[in-house]
């Protein structure tokens, strides 16, 4: 028995290294070997296991192996609600951003690190005078505490396993503005959550950032898809309106809600966009950080609004205000 364990310890790292670069071809024996090797390692070494192993749908190549209907629901979650819509109302009224598969694939490459394209945490700041001076386009994510900002950012960067995004079940875990650079293409900023356990200087920190950050090209306002827009979200919307900021609403945690309730919340968000916003993109995006639903197209939208991805000629290009 000890001999078998010894062989596993000696051979598993080699099998792991060979397999991690082609996970779609992993033999069942190799997968068992990997699991045993991981269990035998000190807990501190588990951080080195690429997060791409945690979910096979992180890349478009792996996701493309799904049946067509499931792939469409993964990429365009609005399509999964088609059967819930009443007569005279179609999904085309909601789904405005429709990139091609080629667009989605090209956008994905932007989220894959390389020797010349580093993706990493850059710095943090508690005040605007501490914020790094970066000239490249910037997008920021804001939302209520525990809406899933950090979780969504983590899956957006799931193809860059060295990027550490700290996620906590405790509301208000993020206390600073955290800056992540995607090569020389753009910067993504994870803002502290508003509402429960928000930092005391939240208003000064966030308002100052939104009002003065000249290279900010799009604000992503995250709303809990299971509960819809709350009063604190309306305050954030008014703040974006006041500063004339181009923003887009992303409904998170859509896997936590039944389709009927999700559709009701979606229509509520759409009505708020139509009647109470000035510079909001007319389509709400749907996303699930646990199932990767909507993540691929959201990457594509980020690449597009930061000027890194002109949509292909066969893609329907809608207004991106």
Listed by start position, the domains of the chain span 2-49, 56-305
Class of domain 56-305: alpha beta
Task: Tell me if 297 sits within 8 A of 79, measured CB to CB.
Answer: no
Q: Which of 206, 272, 190 is nearest to 243 (CA)?
A: 206
The tokens for 53 are 């192993």
Q: Enter the pTM of the model.
A: 0.79
Alpha carbon of residue 258 to chain centroid: 21
Encode the chain (321 residues) as per-residue pLDDT tens digits: 545 444 444 444 434 333 333 333 444 444 444 344 334 433 333 333 344 444 789 999 999 999 999 999 999 999 888 777 665 667 777 889 999 999 999 999 999 999 999 999 999 988 777 888 899 999 999 999 889 999 999 999 999 988 887 665 554 455 688 999 999 999 999 998 886 555 455 677 788 888 889 999 999 999 999 999 999 999 999 999 999 999 999 999 999 988 889 999 999 999 999 999 999 999 999 999 999 999 999 999 999 999 999 987 545 445 445
CB 92, CB 282: distance < 8 Å: no
pLDDT of residue 169: 53
């Amino acid at each position: 028995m000890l001999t078998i364990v010894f062989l596993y310890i000696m051979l598993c790292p080699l099998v792991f290294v060979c397999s991690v670069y082609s996970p779609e071809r992993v033999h069942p024996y190799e997968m068992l070997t990997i699991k045993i090797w991981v269990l035998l390692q000190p807990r501190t070494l588990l951080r080195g296991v690429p997060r791409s192993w945690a979910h096979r749908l992180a890349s478009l190549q792996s996701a493309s192996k799904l049946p067509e209907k499931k792939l469409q629901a993964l990429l365009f979650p609005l399509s999964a609600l088609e059967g819930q819509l009443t007569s005279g109302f179609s999904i085309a009224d909601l789904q405005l951003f429709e990139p091609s598969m080629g667009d989605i694939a090209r956008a994905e490459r932007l989220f894959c690190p390389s020797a010349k394209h580093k993706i990493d945490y850059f710095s943090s700041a508690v005040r605007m005078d501490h914020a790094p001076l970066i000239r490249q386009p910037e997008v920021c994510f804001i939302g209520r505490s525990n809406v899933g900002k950090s979780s969504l950012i983590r899956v957006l960067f799931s193809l860059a396993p060295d990027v550490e995004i700290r996620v906590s079940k405790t509301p208000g875990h993020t206390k600073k503005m955290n800056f992540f650079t995607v090569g020389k293409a753009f910067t993504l900023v994870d803002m502290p959550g508003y509402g429960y356990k928000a930092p005391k200087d939240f208003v000064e920190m966030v308002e100052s950032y939104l009002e003065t950050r000249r290279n900010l090209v799009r604000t992503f306002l995250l709303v809990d898809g299971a509960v819809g827009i709350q009063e604190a979200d309306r305050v954030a919307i008014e703040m974006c309106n006041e500063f004339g900021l181009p923003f887009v609403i992303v409904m998170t945690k859509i896997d936590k809600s039944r389709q009927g309730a999700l559709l009701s919340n979606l229509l509520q968000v759409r009505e708020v966009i139509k009647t109470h916003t000035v510079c909001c993109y007319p389509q709400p995006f749907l996303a699930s950080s646990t199932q990767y639903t909507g993540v691929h197209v959201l990457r594509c939208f980020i690449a597009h609004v930061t000027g890194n991805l002109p949509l292909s000629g066969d893609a329907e290009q809608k207004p991106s205000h």
